[in-house]
Copies of this chain bind each other. A is one copy, B any other.
């Protein structure tokens, strides 16, 4: 954490505590206001093109048997985060659960019974004091890797992403400015691949070298670290972002999470959504365009079709181009995986498909 961020977050936590203290001094019933993290309070901001939380709030009161425990938990987590930031250490949300779990006084009551409780409180706290959990020194499980035409600094170590072999640099959960700095970024865009297998193929073919880019994957649904790092590359370095996912409703949704944010973490979109990310494929029109044989396609399952119907309704898929894209998939009745391109030869993706898509600006937004 930079000193500035650290001081800011500590200040927010202190304010949060002081507010409760003031209430107690005034002999009021202590209470805190927490923005509601529910689907009903999730809205699609048409201007900014991101998912965000609405204005609904819940009030959590100390003297209310239905609230007391959660009130206590909220203050407990806030206090533990303050200690973490002060000590300069980071830890996992699982660790934090154990750190704050204890039996209260001589009772048989524990502060937390399971981690779901503490996870929810962490999210409450994030949204209440408007801080990313990463800035509260908490990390989640990580996936994803990166290579490409750039040098970065990670925790003081200079890492040349051009020299990372076949394994690549593992993208950590906390990628804030004070952990990760960009040094010598020659890359002109970022290609995010849904699956690590395709990432490996493209890395083996040195796609990033030939096309001067950064090559990243998030191993399926994008983890927070990958999203936040992509956001930083896009916002701070103005690098265009291309997302390369399976041609199925799940791939489309993964793209939309990179672009507009996720329903679960709507309150974090402004710090994670890459609103100008481009969907480079696979498109439902690619089979014809690239002459991919029928036996490389897979029939849509009932679950796939139901999911197509769902995303057709999402406000952020209302653009004509997306409606056309999704409906074409449903009409064809089949989906296409990234690996299907290998039917055209192992180097087809790196040497033909991707360059052609980028050159022709053949993408969706």
* A89 interfacial by beta-carbon distance below 8 Å: yes
A99, A173, A200 — which one has the most chain B CB atoms within 10 A of its CB? A200
- Bound together, the chains give a CA A311 to CA B339 distance in angstroms of 38
Task: Mark out the residues of chain A between 61 and 109 whose CB falls within 8 Å of any chain B CB in the assembled complex.
Answer: 87, 89-92, 94-95, 97-99, 101-103
- Bound together, the chains give a CA A165 to CA B157 distance in angstroms of 5
Q: Are A159 and B154 in contact (CB under 8 A)?
A: no
Contact with B along A160-202 (1 / 0, CB 8 A): 0001111111111110000110000000000000001110110
* A145 interfacial by beta-carbon distance below 8 Å: yes
- Bound together, the chains give a CA A91 to CA B340 distance in angstroms of 13
Q: Are B165 and A154 in contact (CB under 8 A)?
A: yes
* A58 interfacial by beta-carbon distance below 8 Å: no
- Bound together, the chains give a CA A343 to CA B92 distance in angstroms of 13
Q: Are B172 and A164 in contact (CB under 8 A)?
A: no
Contact of A95 with B197 at beta-carbon distance under 8 Å, contacts A154-B164, A156-B165, A293-B102 already known: yes
Contact with B along A266-293 (1 / 0, CB 8 A): 0000000000000000000000000001
* A123 interfacial by beta-carbon distance below 8 Å: no
Q: Are B90 and A204 in contact (CB under 8 A)?
A: yes
A: residues with CB less than 8 A from B are: 87, 89-92, 94-95, 97-99, 101-103, 110, 139, 141-143, 145, 153-159, 163-174, 179-180, 196-198, 200-201, 204, 219, 293-296, 337, 339-340, 342-343, 346-347
